[in-house]
A and B are shown apart, each in its own frame.
Chain A
Amino acid sequence: MMFLVHVPFTASSIAGDLGRADYSYYFVMRSYLPVLESLGTVREITDPCQEADACYRQCAARGEYCVLLCFAPPHRVPLDLECPVVPVIAWEYDSLPDTPWAERRGTDWLRVLAILGRTITHSGFTARVVREAIRPDYPVVSVPAPLWDFFAPLAARRAAIRAAGSGRGVDIDGTLMDSRVCDFSAAADTLLAEHPPQLQRLTLDGVVYTAVFCPLDGRKNWEDLLSAFCWAFRDAPDCTLVMKLVHHDREQAIGEVLAELRRLPVVAARIVLVHAYLDDAQYADLLCATDFAVNSSLGEGQCLPLMEYMSAGVPAIAPAHTAMLDYLDAASGYPVRAHQELYHWPEDMGLILRTRRFRPEWEGLRRAYEDSRALRRGDPQGYARMSAAAQQNLQRHCSQAVARDRLGGFFSAHEAAIAAARRDAPPSVMEAPSGDAGAAQDEAAWRRDPRQCGLADMVFSGWCKAATGELFSGFTVGPDDTVLDIGCGDGLAVTFAAQQGARVVFCDLDAEKLASLSRRLDERGLTAHGALRASGERLPVRDGTMTRVIATEVLEHVTDPRAVLAEMVRVGRPGARYLISVPDAAAEHFQQPFADPSYFAPPNHVRIIAPQEFEDLVESSGLAIEERGQYGFFWFVWMSFFWATRDGSAGTAPTMDQIAPPYHPLLESWAETWSRFLELPGAPAMLQAFNERMPKTRVIVARRR
């Protein structure tokens, strides 16, 4: 397996980027490397658009699985590559952005993830949010940064320090402000001047609480953990809160915290501010000196500091929401109840309140402080148990073994899906009419197979002209198009559109059909697609996003065709083109006496639409009809013969995309007859005459005004 990895940040910008919103993507990528290296070869690439496809083609040539892992938010993931791309995303809100903002289409994350086809994230919470947004069987796996193995060894060192009773402390090369010697009510400028960055030792004693956060990140809600500490330990000089501030601007970071400290009453407990870059050893020292890790955020995609501390056996006080739900429980720390509140997606400049975040109970934080202090001081065995539980929970959550397991399974499934799709793909539509449909095809067998004949008939009738990009006469699809196919069935239209370079979204109620079509498209290297499990009456698609909308053989199946048309019109951009087809009414009436009753009952054809009614439906929904067509004489006869061969015996009625061998000899004979007819030079003209006289299907191409 070949893993191409890309993250839009580099090592050279790390120190400067410390505290910037996407910094953690870089860290996560680095933490994944050892696991990826144990599964295959890893190559870091800086410019996916230039480098990824070349690499992919080399791998494809030697039959090796290749995938590009993009550690970035979905709107920064390239969508146009031949190489399959899997985004590795962090997300802490309870819904995915599904609205493009400004002109940046990529910011509709729902669409991006649906098109890319599979996703890796870092918490069970996020995986659930993704599945709820896209579809229940969407392939998403939660693989938190596998950092347990690096931090677990620190547990022994922690225990040794406590057992020996030796002093705890950490060397800080930066700014240190300690309430034991510092008057926080002084002006910020004064304090900053009096405490310049320098190398100094922070000695710690008593019950030590550590919080690592960026004070300018509103999501961290650090004011709660600070004020709750002050209230809980107003009279407890043996408690210390160490706030390790992560932000590149020293004055800003410290200024924010000092402003809040000025509002709080002076307390007996000790409060320490640290602003410094800690190397691995210093970070470990701080961790080993800590008794409890504290977090009060409003949501976490994955909280790296909490994971690090708990891996080393430091129990945590943290809200019971988002990522923490995976590993924090009453045995391993103090989960604090949180309540939902309305919020907006962080990239949403309009501040529209479309999602939820989670506010922890302040009272819960305060009680957690009080209870944890009592535990630490009065119940050493209880504390030891909690410490061990924290370690175990995190091992199950983010050890390299677990990550290797999950990633391995994920990539293997992807590889298998690609291979299966390659095996099962129906022959390309383009192969059928010319007759030389590949070496493996037996020409005689081809003539007798109604599916092959039917495909050829469709092409002769005006469908799937790749040279002109016309899916049907007058209905072109090209690389600039975004296509929605409702009731996609076996995906003939979808496949054609994708081959023409369009982005395709296909929609059906049948999850299996969606899954298998996705696989088949993936296999062909057509990755710009997305599957939606939805009913045409309520499409989870934004207004005006589609340039082509296809609904073939759909309206006769739905309870409310006007509602479906209204939805189709809604999602179309002004000027969008529509391809709609329904069974011809005369053909339906012809079949009625002979067909199985279930053929005209739900979920099959629930109505017969007369040609005028068809036109009225389309026009009254706001579309302007541009072309009308009909075809399917071949199928008219075939279906009639099909009923004849069934001889009134009960059974499920087929849809045209479901027919499968073995066929009655009459049906094979008819297919062979028709195939021979199609081979004649004069066939197209007579075919058109047949289709006009006795079509099976009526087609309308329309435009949205």
Chain B
Amino acid sequence: MTRPLHFLFWSRINAGNIRESLGAPEYSYYFLLKEFRPAFERLGQVSVLDDPAQADARYDEAIARGERCVLIAFTAPQNLPQPARCPVIPLFAWEFERIPDEAWGGNPRNDWRVALGGVAAAITLSGHALEAVRRALGPRLPLLAAPVPLWERMERVRRAGDEVGHTVTLDVDGAVFDTRDFEAGPDRLRCARPLAAYALELWDGRAHALDFRLHAPDTGALLGFYRPEPWGAWSRNDEVWIALPWLLHGEVELELTVRAYGRNQGRVLMAGLGDVYRVLRIGDGEERHTLRFALERPARMLHIAGIDPRPIPGAREERSIGFGITGLAVRESAAPAARGTLHLELHAESPASALLQEFWTPEGWGAWSASSAPWLMLPRPVTGRVRVQLEALGHGRNATMPLGVYLGSARHVFVPGAELQWHTLEFDLAEPAQVLGFTGVQPEPAGASGDVRMLGMGLRSVTIEEHTEGVLAESVDEIVVERDEEAAPVAWPQPVAAHVRQRLVLDGTVYTSVLNPLDDRKNWELLVSAFCTAFAAREDVTLVLKMTQRLQRSYLFEMHRLLQCLPRFACRVVVVHGFLDDVDYGELMRRTDFYVNVSKAEGLCIPLMEFMSCGRPALAPRHTSMLDYLDDRNSIAIDAATEPCIWPHDERAVLRTLQYRVSWESVVDALTRSFALRHENPGTYREMGEAAAATMRCYCGIERVASELERLLTGAAGMHATEPAPAGAASGRKAR
């Protein structure tokens, strides 16, 4: 009778540290562990180790109980634990043609031939990887290529049926970046719903810096600039933006390293963050300017306006340059005294009119006071030397009477006049004040027929500036105030986390890809540019990119660049950056017409397998692990051919192996053909989906995987049914 099997599972990432590890290189191994567990459980008992050092102790216990025991290590070979007695079987993914067969960095185990020297057997996720290991290690080591057994767990989605062709609504816990919300071109990039597109990044309050010189990754944040040069980048239009990767809030200081060209030297430029603008005047040469902003609502777009882009006649420089930037640093404001300007419009449409107290309902032009002491609450306290500008008028005898104005405890007097005009008053506040009020108003009947109100003073707008010792706007007139596009005020939680739920509506023909944008092999930019070329003229087709990466800024710059640099397209690209629960993810799967993969190399591609398991045909290149399950019946092929590449974890970044160069032209062609298939040949399309499911049933059903594992274990060293194992070495046993 064969002795029962006891599996010890271990991976570097475990349930305890998964949260911090999102997107880290070993991250997916944790999920592999979870995915394979059911298959192993059909063969024996599974225990998960927190620490590989426990392996030998647990092994001894198992042997004492009369069990066979083996450590299944879900990790890359260079990280394999080396217990003294317990046999080890690594389970790992590998995408390239050659496994590392050199040692570097003083670590001999970087050479996988060494790292795999002592194992009992090895499990790779694909036949491609198995062959690479075989070529390097020879015929003796027992090897198995086993896919993740996910067929059964997709049953719930399969049972729910098809949503293809219907409109579905998904709830995303995070951000949805939808190209339909953007107005993009070479010299503009405006988002209609910035809160929906960029909701997840909040500033941690720490100091950060952005570098805009040639080859720096931050240059993607620049909108409206010329190609970056070794020193930095020049503006191309009369206004530019820098899309900061953080949602800044509160008291913020930006230090800009800038320069100006031609007519812009000495010119008043406006630098705005959200709805707060500061004057920026740059002289000759490179200068550092510190701008302080008191942000009442979180903002992330730094806007520089007022640039004169006209070239100087006769100058060698022919480009329309004006404003140049080398870098910027952001930090919490050190001096809270510099607060910026408050500008309150008090007419009916403006939200600030809600601050008025003891005024009649605001009208289109402004608001009339209702009592003899009307006042308003400022949105935040002000202090120090404060300049107040009122746009006011008086009704009846109030026009020619002196009225009292107070801000906190400081007082002034002014005569409103019969027509709307500006009045400037300076206050010296010893302590912060938040109430601006008027006294001595004498209400009189309105006078117009049908108007029963008693009116005193009319107010249209109030502008309040706090003086600092630094640069201040020359005059209030120069300040341009823009409301954020979403006019309704939002109640912002304290900046710890921003959980905003977005609704995503999908209709038309849907292509989906699930990937980690930081993984260069995924090639997502190629997919987006090919998609937007293939469907440039079609409105009824959508590409959904589900990003499995915590940091939105890791790919946002590239996304902006594509939006600006691609020729105009009518199709829709939606980037889902957030969490979809199982139900919504299942709905996405059922709504998808085609799953697309354009990777240069794949260890397995679990999302592709999941979608195919639900009957969704694929567009993918036929290489690496995908060769195990893609064929002409269940997928449309994309051309790819080899090119040299590095081992991803090799810090020397030297070219040692091969990945695949995917043909952009072929992706465009495959997308076009797939669309035609879907709509002109629905029968064939349905057959393709059915073939995809059928392939997956055979390929990654748990029964098959379990029986393959069993076969391997029988032949693995130290796993013989009746004898205990020699100390963890590959003995001379024949491989099965």
Q: Which residues of A are at the interface with B, using a C-beta cutoff of 8 A? A: 102-104, 224, 227, 231, 262-265, 339-342, 344, 349-354, 359, 361-364, 366
B-side contacts of A262, CB under 8 Å: 654
Given contacts A341-B664, A361-B661, 17 further A-B contacts (CB under 8 A): A102-B311, A103-B311, A104-B318, A224-B643, A263-B653, A264-B644, A340-B664, A341-B665, A344-B565, A352-B186, A353-B565, A353-B567, A362-B641, A362-B642, A363-B641, A363-B642, A363-B643
A339 and B643 form a contact (CB under 8 A)? no
Residues B643 and A353 in contact, CB atoms below 8 Å apart? no
Chain B nearest Cβ from A110, distance in angstroms = 15
B512 proximal to A (CB < 8 A): no
B166 at the A interface (CB under 8 A): no
Q: How far is the CA of A224 from the CA of B311 in the complex (A)?
A: 40
Query: In the complex, A262 Cα to B646 Cα: how many Å?
Result: 13
User: Which residues of the partner chain B approach A352 to less than 8 Å between Cβ atoms?
Assistant: 186, 564-567
Is A350 in contact with B654, judged by CB distance below 8 angstroms? no
Whether B654 pairs with A362 at a CB distance below 8 angstroms is no
Inter-chain contact A350/B565, CB cutoff 8 Å: yes
Could you name 18 residue pairs across A and B whose Cβ atoms are closer than 8 Å?
A: A102-B320, A227-B644, A263-B655, A265-B654, A265-B656, A339-B663, A340-B664, A349-B236, A349-B319, A350-B186, A351-B565, A352-B186, A352-B564, A352-B567, A353-B566, A353-B567, A354-B567, A366-B642
Decide if B666 is an interface residue (CB 8 Å cutoff): yes
B654 contacts A263, C-beta separation under 8 Å: yes
Among A265, A353, A354, the most chain B Cβ lie within 10 Å of the Cβ of A353
Tell me if B629 counts as interface (CB < 8 A to partner A). Answer: no
Give the residue name and chain of the B residue nearest to A359 (CB).
Answer: B661
1/0 per residue B624-641: CB within 8 Å of A?
A: 000000000000000101
Residues of A within 8 A of B655 (CB): 227, 263-265
Chain B 317-332 interface mask (CB, 8 Å, partner A; 1/0): 0111000000000000
A residues near B227, Cβ cutoff 8 Å: 349, 351
Residues of B within 8 A of A362 (CB): 641-644, 661
* Separation of A353 and B666 alpha carbons in the complex (Å): 18
Q: Are A353 and B529 in contact (CB under 8 A)?
A: yes
Q: Measured between C-beta atoms, what is the minimum distance from A103 to chain B in Å?
A: 6
In whole angstroms, what is the CA distance A339 to B227 when docked? 26
- Decide if the interface of chain A is mainly helix, strand, loop or mixed: mixed
- 1/0 per residue B162-198: CB within 8 Å of A? 0000000000000000000000001100000000000
Q: Closest Cβ of chain A: how far from B429's Cβ, in Å?
A: 49
Determine the chain A residues whose CB is within 8 A of the CB of B564 once the complex forms. 350, 352
B533 and A350 contacting across the interface, CB-CB below 8 Å: no
In the bound complex, how far is the Cα of B226 from the Cα of A362, in angstroms? 32
Q: Measured between alpha carbons, how far is A227 from B643 in the docked complex, in Å?
A: 9
Residues from chain B with a CB closer than 8 A to the CB of A351 are 227, 561, 565
Minimum CB–CB distance from B187 to chain A (whole Å) comes to 7
Docked Cα-Cα span, A341 to B318, in Å, equals 29
Closest 8 CB pairs of A and B: A339-B663, A363-B641, A362-B643, A340-B665, A350-B186, A341-B664, A363-B642, A339-B665
* Contact partners of A342 in chain B: CB under 8 A: 529, 533, 566, 664
CB distance from A356 to the nearest CB of B (A): 8
Cβ–Cβ contact A339 & B318, under 8 A: no
Known A-B contacts A263-B654, A339-B663, A353-B566; the reply to A364 vs B641 at CB < 8 A is yes
> A102 and B666: CB pair below 8 A?
no
Distance between Cα atoms of A362 and B643 in the complex (Å): 6
Q: How far, in Å, is A464 (CB) from chain B's closest CB?
A: 35
Q: Of residues 465 to 511 in B, which have CB atoms within 8 Å of A's CB atoms?
A: none
* Min CB gap B235→A, angstroms: 11
Q: A231's closest neighbor in chain B, by CB?
A: B644
Residues on A with C-beta less than 8 A from B656 are 265
Q: Cβ of A102 and Cβ of B318 under 8 Å apart?
A: yes
Q: How far is the CA of A366 from the CA of B656 in the complex (A)?
A: 15
Contact residues, B536-584 vs A (CB, 8 A): 561, 564-567
- Give the residues from 644 to 662 in chain B that come closer than 8 angstroms, CB to CB, to chain A: 644, 646, 653-656, 661
CA distance A102 to B567 in the complex (A): 18
Cβ contacts under 8 Å, A361 to chain B = 641, 661
Interface pair B565/A102, CB less than 8 Å apart: no
Query: A350–B665 contact, CB under 8 A?
Result: no
**With A102-B311, A361-B641, A362-B643 given, is the CB distance from A264 to B654 under 8 Å?**
yes
Chain A residues near B654 (CB-CB < 8 A): 262-265
Decide: A339 and B186 in contact? CB cutoff 8 A. no
Taken together as a complex, chains A and B put the C-alpha atoms of A354 and B533 apart, in Å, by: 10
Do residues B320 and A103 form an inter-chain contact, with CB atoms below 8 A?
A: yes
Inter-chain contacts of B236 with A (CB < 8 A)? 349-350
Report Cα–Cα, A359/B640, bound state, in Å: 12
Whole-angstrom distance between the Cβ of B347 and the nearest chain A Cβ: 29
Smallest Cβ-Cβ distance to A228: which chain B residue = B644
Residues on B with C-beta less than 8 A from A341 are: 664-665
CA distance in complex: A351, B223 (Å): 12
Report the minimum CB–CB distance from A371 to chain B (whole Å).
16
Q: Which of A349, A359, A362, A364 has most chain B Cβ within 10 Å?
A: A349
Considering the chains assembled together, what is the distance between the CA atoms of A539 and B218 in angstroms?
Answer: 39
Separation of A349 and B655 alpha carbons in the complex (Å)? 32
B105 CB to nearest A CB, Å: 16
Contacts of B565 in A (CB 8 A): 344, 350-353
Residue of A nearest to B311 (CB): A103
Chain B residue at smallest Cβ distance from A264: B655
CA distance A2 to B162 in the complex (A): 75
Nearest chain A CB to B98's CB is how many angstroms away?
11
Query: What is the chain A residue whose CB lies nearest that of B317?
Result: A102
CA A106 to CA B561, docked complex, whole Å = 26
Kindly list chain B residues whose C-beta atoms are within 8 Å of the C-beta of A359: 661
In the complex, the chain A residue whose C-beta lies closest to that of B652 is A263
Task: State in angstroms the CA–CA spacing of A359 and B656 once bound together.
Answer: 21
- What are the residues of chain A within 8 A of B318 when measuring CB–CB? 102-104
Residues of A within 8 A of B644 (CB): 227, 231, 264, 362
Write the nearest CB–CB distance from A344 to chain B, whole angstroms.
7
Docked CA distance A354–B642 (Å): 27
Residues 663-703 of B contacting A (Cβ, < 8 Å):
663-666
CB distance from B126 to the nearest CB of A (A): 20
B654 to chain A, nearest CB (A): 5
Choose from A104, A339, A350, A366 the contact partner of B187 (Cβ within 8 Å): A350
Residue numbers in B under 8 Å from A339 (CB-CB) = 639, 663-666
Q: How far is the CA of A340 from the CA of B669 in the complex (A)?
A: 11
CB distance from A353 to the nearest CB of B (A): 5
**Which residues of B are found within 8 Å of A265, using beta-carbon distances?**
654-656
Q: Which residue of B lies closest to A349 (CB)?
A: B226
In whole angstroms, what is the CA distance A104 to B317 when docked?
A: 12
CB distance from B36 to the nearest CB of A (A): 34
A344 to B666, CA, bound (A): 20
Q: Which residues of A are found within 8 Å of B529, using beta-carbon distances?
A: 342, 353
Look across to chain A and name the residue whose beta carbon is closest to the beta carbon of B639. A339
B102: nearest residue on chain A (CB-CB)? A265
Contacts of A349 in B (CB 8 A): 226-227, 236, 319
Residue numbers in A under 8 Å from B663 (CB-CB):
339
In the bound complex, what is the Cα–Cα distance between A341 and B533 (angstroms)?
A: 11
Report A-chain residues with C-beta under 8 Å of the C-beta of B653: 263
Chain B residues with Cβ below 8 Å from A264 are 644, 654-655
Report Cα–Cα, A359/B663, bound state, in Å: 9
Q: In the assembly, what is the distance between CA of A13 and CA of B108, in Å?
A: 55
Q: Which residue of A102, A340, A366 contacts B319 across the interface (Cβ within 8 Å)?
A: A102
- Measured in the bound complex, the distance between the Cα atoms of B529 and A354 in whole Å is 11
Q: Which residues in A have their C-beta under 8 angstroms from that of B641?
A: 361-364
Measured between C-beta atoms, what is the minimum distance from B182 to chain A in Å? 16
Closest A residue, CB atoms, query B661: A362
What CA separation (Å) do A354 and B318 show in the bound complex? 22
Residue of B nearest to A224 (CB): B643
Shortest CB distance B624–A (Å):
14
> In the complex, A351 Cα to B653 Cα: how many Å?
28
In the assembled complex, how far is the CB of residue B463 from the closest CB belonging to chain A, in whole angstroms? 33
Smallest Cβ-Cβ distance to A361: which chain B residue: B641
Contacts of B187 in A (CB 8 A): 350
Separation in Å of the A459 CB from the closest CB of chain B?
A: 40
